[in-house]
Structure 1
Amino acid sequence: MPRELVIDCALSFAVAASTVLTSVIAGGRAEQSPPEWVGHLLLVVTAVFLVARRRFPPQVMVLTMLVSLLYFGLGFGTGAFTVAPALAVYTAIAAKHRIAGFSGAAVYLVIVLLADRLGGQRDVSEGNVWLVIWILVIVVLGEVSRSRAEHLRVVAEQAARAELTREMEAQRRADQERLRIARELHDVLAHNISVISIQAGVAEHLLRKDPDKAHTAVTTIRSVTKDVLVELRSILDVLRRVDDAGEIFPPSGVEGIERLAGRAAAGGITVDLDVRGRASRVPADVGLAAYRVVQESLTNVIRHSGAARASVVVHVNEADVLVRVRDDGRGVPGDDVPAGNGIAGMTERVKAMSGTITAAPADGGGFVVEARLPLRRPEP
């Protein structure tokens, strides 16, 4: 049996026993028609209705009122007849049937008071004052119970929404982190593998004709391979959350751009580098974004442009960092760049820093990528 039903059955029994006992103690009437046992039976009936008060609050309230009014109308003089209707009113209001509860309490109270006044045989003053107070207290308690239940419901919903929001935020952060790592891996691999591929081709071509130059190309491949392995290890360590006391790849920031230019030169591209301003003023995330823009731009120059020369400009200004990479090749067809990689990847990275970027054919030939990265992001 459900716990609430057990409670209501116990309440019904307690109301029946207490009201009948009160009626017995109050004593009989001068007129014995109908007999006292009829009044006791009516009190028991009103109490039995309370068993269903949670399932049918308005209906139980109406039934208890009708039977109690019948008890009152038959001339039984105790005030016990108001107990069951009062509990039914409380239940109706607490169960959000406010209009029914308020209206039922008012109508019930008016009928009892009018009957007392019109009958003219009862002491209506003190008893009716207590009746009014009793009904008002019950109405207030019902409203308080309803308000508390509503408050608890709202708090529970807010807690559920907050938990859902936390889960969604955690999922969003995880997705952003996966996307960031994917971009890092793409930028690291695309640039370095391009250099390795070119140097491997040079080594293969010169292996018999000019072993010394072939050796230089192989040395470059070894250096680039070592660098990319160290950088990949640094990225993967973030995923594993492993503390590594070994070699750490030099900071991928403005100060690392000269190294990128050297790799591009090893790939057969003449690079004119112009770095100005204090790199120490650049926040780490902004410096990394500038580094990746240069890295991806030079990768595109090596792989796609057919250029012989490129210029890299990095100016650290008061408010932002200007990055410009221009080549003298045939340009990079935008349609050939997969979404999420290449130019699209640079655009995502720069926008994440609240910066701006343009990538388009340059006047006079070639291709130019220009980005501006604010040193401080605007407040959200």
Structure 2
Amino acid sequence: METSTAGGGGGRAARSAWRTAALWGGAGLATLVLGNLVLRVPLGVGDRIADPAAMLAAASVLTATLLVRRAPLATLVLTLGFGVAVVFLYYSPGVASVPVLAAAGALGRVAVVRSRRAALAAVGATVLVLILVQLARPVEGGPALVLVQGQLPVVVLAWLVGDSVRRSREAAAQAHAAATEQALTDERLRIARELHDMVAHSIGIIAIQAGVGSRVIDTRPDQARDALQAIEATSRDTLSSLRRTLVALRRGGPAPLAPAPGLDGLERLAAATAGDTGLRIDVAVSGRRRPLPQDVELAAYRIVQEALTNTVRHARARHCRVGVAYEDGALALDITDDGRSSPAQEGGSGFGITGMRERAALLGGSLDAGPLPAGGFRVAAVLPLPATAVPAATAPATAPAAEEAR
């Protein structure tokens, strides 16, 4: 949208400059015609210029200058009428070239703002008028020579320029519409991806904790109480995140600020995911740990979150390892478990693997997911780090909750 706004501002400035130039040019041309009237300097064909003829020529220029933007067709008719009047009433073919030039400018404007069919009709009518005038009032050299050498090229050139401007505007409008539609599509995918990761993970934890609580509620009530407390905490966090997201989407403005999840929260994520499920999750970090761009932090967190969710829900694993490697120019993630692979975990029927791949691709990275030869499942992602990116440590500590709607 910003690009569109900036482009729109530049287009408005260019149009304003064009209108200013046209106004001053028209006024200057009218001044020249009126000056010719005062000084009695002959123009074109003939030995003298009648004063009323020059006045009509000046009136045609002023009319074109003042009305061509709002009423180009009316301006075309009026300027042609002035030209015909100059020729038939005062027999000043040379001065009549001035209204013809003004009519050509109006014709170019018609080609810009009207359809090609309407513009071609206007061109045809203009050429017909010029031919009839030349046949009715022939000048030295014959009407054909005057038309071919002077008037027709001006009319055709004006139409060609106007038609080119119209096609350029149409192409720009189509490109803007396509860019807007693509931006809306990207935003929908961003929201769907983030909601899936956030809600699916939370619902998975709730389902697992509910299963644990139902199994031990009679024999180990303390453990069942812990499971219920975990369900309550997860539900509250999820509802709070959803509420912030929905408020931001409904208002269409800035969302309340909320912490953006990142790699610092992986230990808490692992503990919350494992809970009382019996799954042991180890988080191993290698390389020189350093602040990363916020979009990389968020993508890495969501990829790990989705991989752990799939492990808990589908793999029936006992052990899961989350590897985070800070490499030169990239962040490498490696999540493996010792469970059994399932179609859902491999992304055959869900959106989890697809969403993870999209997150990696948006950053120019890659993601591979599939079963291991010796059993278990592996998700490996590489997220490149821009050399000039602003690290998360230098960015604001909080981000809009709508960011979680990506």
Shift of 1:194: 0.5
What does residue range 340-379 of structure 1 map to in structure 2 within 5 Å? Answer: 341-376=351-386
Between the aligned partners of 1:62 and 1:304, the Cα distance in structure 2 is 84
Q: Is the 8 A contact 1:316 1:322 kept in 2?
A: yes
What's the TM-score once normalised by structure 1's chain length?
Answer: 0.66
Instruction: Report the AA paired with residue 312 of structure 1.
Output: V
Higher relative contact order (CA 8 A, sep 6+): 2
Between the aligned partners of 1:86 and 1:270, the Cα distance in structure 2 is 95
Between the aligned partners of 1:87 and 1:288, the Cα distance in structure 2 is 73
Task: Name the CA shift for 1:378/1:346 in 2 (closer, same or farther; >3 Å).
Answer: farther
What does residue range 76-91 of structure 1 map to in structure 2 within 5 Å? Answer: 88-89=147-148, 90-91=150-151
Which residue number corresponds to residue 251 of structure 1?
Answer: 260
Between the aligned partners of 1:340 and 1:207, the Cα distance in structure 2 is 32
Between the aligned partners of 1:287 and 1:201, the Cα distance in structure 2 is 32
Structure 2: where are the runs of 5+ without partners? 1-72, 95-120, 390-406
Q: Is the 8 A contact 1:353 1:377 kept in 2?
A: no
Instruction: Report the AA paired with residue 124 of structure 2.
Output: R
Between the aligned partners of 1:340 and 1:157, the Cα distance in structure 2 is 45
Between the aligned partners of 1:377 and 1:331, the Cα distance in structure 2 is 37
Shift of 1:277: 4.3
Instruction: Report the AA paired with residue 172 of structure 1.
Output: Q
Instruction: Report the AA paired with residue 298 of structure 2.
Output: L
Q: What SS does structure 1 have at the residue aligned with 2:375?
A: coil
Computed over aligned residues only, the root mean square deviation of the Cα atoms, in angstroms, reads: 3.4
Which residue number corresponds to residue 92 of structure 1?
Answer: 152
Between the aligned partners of 1:347 and 1:54, the Cα distance in structure 2 is 56
Which residue number corresponds to residue 124 of structure 2?
Answer: 55
Which residue number corresponds to residue 107 of structure 1?
Answer: none
Number of residue pairs matched by the alignment: 287
1:164 aligns with 2:174: yes
Q: Is the 8 A contact 2:329 2:387 kept in 1?
A: no
Shift of 1:280: 4.2
Structure 1: where are the runs of 5+ without partners? 23-51, 70-79, 97-145
Instruction: Report the AA paired with residue 325 of structure 1.
Output: I
Shift of 1:252: 1.4
Between the aligned partners of 2:93 and 2:326, the Cα distance in structure 1 is 93
1:221-258 CA distances to partner (integer Å, 9 max, x unpaired)?
11211222233234334423455667x3x431111211
- Among 223, 228, 231, which residue is 2:233 paired with? 223
Which residue number corresponds to residue 302 of structure 2?
Answer: 292
Between the aligned partners of 1:261 and 1:224, the Cα distance in structure 2 is 14
Which residue number corresponds to residue 260 of structure 1?
Answer: 269
Instruction: Report the AA paired with residue 213 of structure 1.
Output: Q
Shift of 1:11: 2.7
Q: Is the 8 A contact 2:87 2:93 kept in 1?
A: no
- Among 296, 310, 333, which residue is 2:343 paired with? 333
Between the aligned partners of 2:192 and 2:366, the Cα distance in structure 1 is 21
Shift of 1:160: 2.9
Which residue number corresponds to residue 90 of structure 2?
Answer: 18
Q: Which moved more, 1:258-267 or 1:181-190?
A: 258-267
Task: Name the CA shift for 1:235/1:332 in 2 (closer, same or farther; >3 Å).
Answer: farther
1:307-334 CA distances to partner (integer Å, 9 max, x unpaired)?
1111111112221111111111111326
Q: Is the 8 A contact 1:253 1:287 kept in 2?
A: yes
Shift of 1:172: 1.1
Q: What SS does structure 1 have at the residue aligned with 2:382?
A: strand
Q: Which moved more, 1:3-12 or 1:159-168?
A: 3-12
Between the aligned partners of 2:93 and 2:183, the Cα distance in structure 1 is 68
Between the aligned partners of 2:260 and 2:93, the Cα distance in structure 1 is 89
Between the aligned partners of 1:337 and 1:317, the Cα distance in structure 2 is 28
Q: Which moved more, 1:319-328 or 1:52-61?
A: 52-61
Q: What SS does structure 2 have at the residue aligned with 1:55?
A: helix
Which residue number corresponds to residue 213 of structure 1?
Answer: 223
- Among 80, 86, 91, which residue is 1:8 paired with? 80
Task: Name the CA shift for 1:337/1:7 in 2 (closer, same or farther; >3 Å).
Answer: same
Shift of 1:62: 6.8
Task: Name the CA shift for 1:20/1:166 in 2 (closer, same or farther; >3 Å).
Answer: closer
Q: What SS does structure 1 have at the residue aligned with 2:340?
A: coil
Q: What SS does structure 2 have at the residue aligned with 1:368?
A: strand
